Chains A and B, each alone.
Chain A
């Protein structure tokens, strides 16, 4: 019995689906059988207990109820809706969009499919040098997801909406995105998704292509989630991803990027606010394997009332990746003594002509600034909220679309106000 089977309580059976995906699924199942699922003693899970992500049954999670409108409601977008991890055609928009092919993974039955060279491939590449068994589990067993191929920049963003309808749902989705040379895609993601959610997205950004991603997750939901993004960047391509997380019991977001073409740019940013039973983990691994590439990580977390934040970020610069420009910033604002932030920033550099920096700080509210605001008549709670938003601003500024950045700020303001 392999380690995985021990952990899972049952053998892994690869999902049924299109024939072209079968070998990748079998391969992932074999890799998983060899590594087993993550356990508490794994170095990569030192700060985050994976138990609730790996145990056989998903813990119950109350359905998210709010008077607030859903995220991105005011933005003209093409919605692809999943309910508890299953594509819902009726709730989704018509999937026809000029310049884009959108297909459901489960129904992508072409004999030769463009996604074959990406599905499970970027994920497998991303397993070295650190194994990511939850992603292998996803490749092997996720039956649903969406395949998006962008040949020409579409007129509006594609929006993946994850609804949650069953308090015990245990959902998995696997998406594949390919942005062809010269095209640009904006992809949005939001919604509580399920009681437990395991999601993998593989993104192949061709030479000169752009991928912009904004994700809003958590809110006040009890859900547990592990996500992985595996990206491969071609020459002069651009990858920008931002994630806003507001509560949620457990969130582990892994981002694995490989800069394989010269002059590529990868920015990953996130803002997370946690109050109470909240554990949020950003784990990022960026590999520079080409000339003059730029990578930038900006992560900010505001924690209180027992909330925990984790950041594991690594920049690996290979021998020939000269003129690399790597930047990494992770900061936490702890609003009380019960909150904690655990950070492990890493640089591993084999090229000799690079510019890399990283900084990680943990701090409290600036008392001088707080007094200054109060001395002008701003009540303490409002002053504190202003300073929290100011702290997060550096991360939100990473979002280029102004309307989306504004919505993120409005949502954060609302979240803070509800806690006054």
Chain B
């Protein structure tokens, strides 16, 4: 599904390397977690995959089902099936949540040469998904993320994911700013979307999210590289011993 090879990335504005040769391969239907200390490059990886400005890829590649992601515009990546759940979802005053989602769903369909979703079908789908995520219908009418609590913003990200039905979902610190109940709700939303044809890359600082979203593979990232890969147990190791042990072990 997602294949990242020897990815080197620096900042466009200053001469600073952040990713220094990331290798990562996520198969169809798999859930991979990336853990790592602050500043290890986890969020940069998610932004580079989604196509945010400000980064310069100096070497390596990232492909989604063989298609070169790095050559595509952000909207093309989305239409190809990539989705990034933002760590800090952006507030957009003046754009209604519903209008935004409908525009996005239909833009992706159009890009893929599919028929647009009818207003009735869209409404039905969004109501069902909102109900599952315990999203108040009123939130759908409000401007995108404006005045939403931290938990509401993250649930709104998962709602978008559910509506857009991506193949490859990247979750960037989706647990940050969530209390236990909100984290459970968000995790249930994610788990409901797990599917043989859909893969997840879950970026997190803490192990606790992985109690709810069980990963198949866990990667430890440090200083711009994947330094260790293992099963779910690796996350527990981090939880118990911190990153220092692992980092000294691979150093």
Instruction: Determine the chain A residues whose CB is within 8 A of the CB of B94 once the complex forms.
Output: 387, 389-394
Contact with A along B78-105 (1 / 0, CB 8 A): 1100011010011111110001110111
Q: Considering the complex, give the chain A residue whose CB is closest to the CB of B94.
A: A390
Answer whether A377 and B79 are a contact pair too, CB < 8 Å, given A382-B103, A382-B107, A386-B103. Answer: yes
Instruction: Determine the chain A residues whose CB is within 8 A of the CB of B111 once the complex forms.
Output: 377, 379
> Is the Cβ of A371 less than 8 Å from the Cβ of B74?
yes
The bracket for how many chain B residues form the interface is 20 to 34
B interface list, Cβ under 8 A from A: 50-53, 73-75, 77-79, 83-84, 86, 89-95, 99-101, 103-105, 107-108, 111, 143-144, 160, 164
Give the contacts of A158-217 with B (CB-CB under 8 A). none
Task: Indicate if A65 sits at the interface (CB-CB under 8 A).
Answer: no
> Is the Cβ of A375 less than 8 Å from the Cβ of B95?
no
* A-B CB proximity, top 5 nearest: A390-B94, A377-B78, A377-B108, A376-B104, A393-B94
Q: Considering the complex, give the chain A residue whose CB is closest to the CB of B79.
A: A377
> Is the Cβ of A379 less than 8 Å from the Cβ of B89?
no
Name the one of B73, B93, B144 contacting A374, with C-beta atoms under 8 angstroms: B73
> Is the Cβ of B73 less than 8 Å from the Cβ of A380?
yes
> Is the Cβ of A375 less than 8 Å from the Cβ of B53?
no
Instruction: Determine the chain A residues whose CB is within 8 A of the CB of B84 once the complex forms.
Output: 375
A-B contact pairs, 9 of them (CB 8 A): A371-B51, A372-B86, A373-B104, A374-B74, A375-B74, A376-B108, A379-B111, A382-B107, A386-B100
Q: Considering the complex, give the chain A residue whose CB is closest to the CB of B93.
A: A390
Name the one of A369, A379, A394 contacting B75, with C-beta atoms under 8 angstroms: A379
8 A-B pairs besides A378-B103, A380-B73, A387-B92 with CB distance below 8 A are A371-B90, A372-B90, A372-B144, A375-B83, A377-B107, A382-B103, A386-B95, A390-B95
Task: Indicate if A43 sits at the interface (CB-CB under 8 A).
Answer: no
Number of contacting residues on A, CB 8 A? 24
Q: Considering the complex, give the chain A residue whose CB is closest to the CB of B163.
A: A376
A237 to B53, alpha carbons, bound, how many Å? 52
Task: Indicate if A67 sits at the interface (CB-CB under 8 A).
Answer: no
Instruction: Determine the chain A residues whose CB is within 8 A of the CB of B160 once the complex forms.
Output: 376
A367 to B83, alpha carbons, bound, how many Å? 18
Instruction: Determine the chain B residues whose CB is within 8 A of the CB of A337 once the complex forms.
Output: none
Task: Indicate if A73 sits at the interface (CB-CB under 8 A).
Answer: no
> Is the Cβ of B53 less than 8 Å from the Cβ of A378?
no
A379 to B164, alpha carbons, bound, how many Å? 15
Give the contacts of A369-419 with B (CB-CB under 8 A). 369, 371-380, 382-383, 386-387, 389-394
A374 to B53, alpha carbons, bound, how many Å? 12
Q: Report A20 CB to chain B, min CB distance, Å.
A: 49
Instruction: Determine the chain A residues whose CB is within 8 A of the CB of B89 once the complex forms.
Output: 372
> Is the Cβ of A379 less than 8 Å from the Cβ of B107?
yes
Task: Indicate if A368 sits at the interface (CB-CB under 8 A).
Answer: yes
> Is the Cβ of A375 less than 8 Å from the Cβ of B100?
no
Answer whether A376 and B164 are a contact pair too, CB < 8 Å, given A368-B90, A386-B100, A387-B95. Answer: yes
Instruction: Determine the chain B residues whose CB is within 8 A of the CB of A372 once the complex forms.
Output: 86, 89-90, 92, 144
A390 to B103, alpha carbons, bound, how many Å? 14
A136 to B53, alpha carbons, bound, how many Å? 54
Give the contacts of A315-374 with B (CB-CB under 8 A). 366-369, 371-374
Answer whether A378 and B107 are a contact pair too, CB < 8 Å, given A387-B95, A389-B94, A394-B94. Answer: yes
A389 to B144, alpha carbons, bound, how many Å? 14
A394 to B50, alpha carbons, bound, how many Å? 31
Q: Considering the complex, give the chain A residue whose CB is closest to the CB of B86.
A: A372
Answer whether A375 and B50 are a contact pair too, CB < 8 Å, given A369-B90, A380-B73, A393-B94. Answer: yes
Instruction: Determine the chain B residues whose CB is within 8 A of the CB of A369 once the complex forms.
Output: 90-92
Answer whether A377 and B104 are a contact pair too, CB < 8 Å, given A369-B92, A372-B90. Answer: yes
Q: Report A389 CB to chain B, min CB distance, Å.
A: 7
> Is the Cβ of B78 less than 8 Å from the Cβ of A374?
yes
A369 to B51, alpha carbons, bound, how many Å? 14
> Is the Cβ of A374 less than 8 Å from the Cβ of B75?
yes
A284 to B242, alpha carbons, bound, how many Å? 63
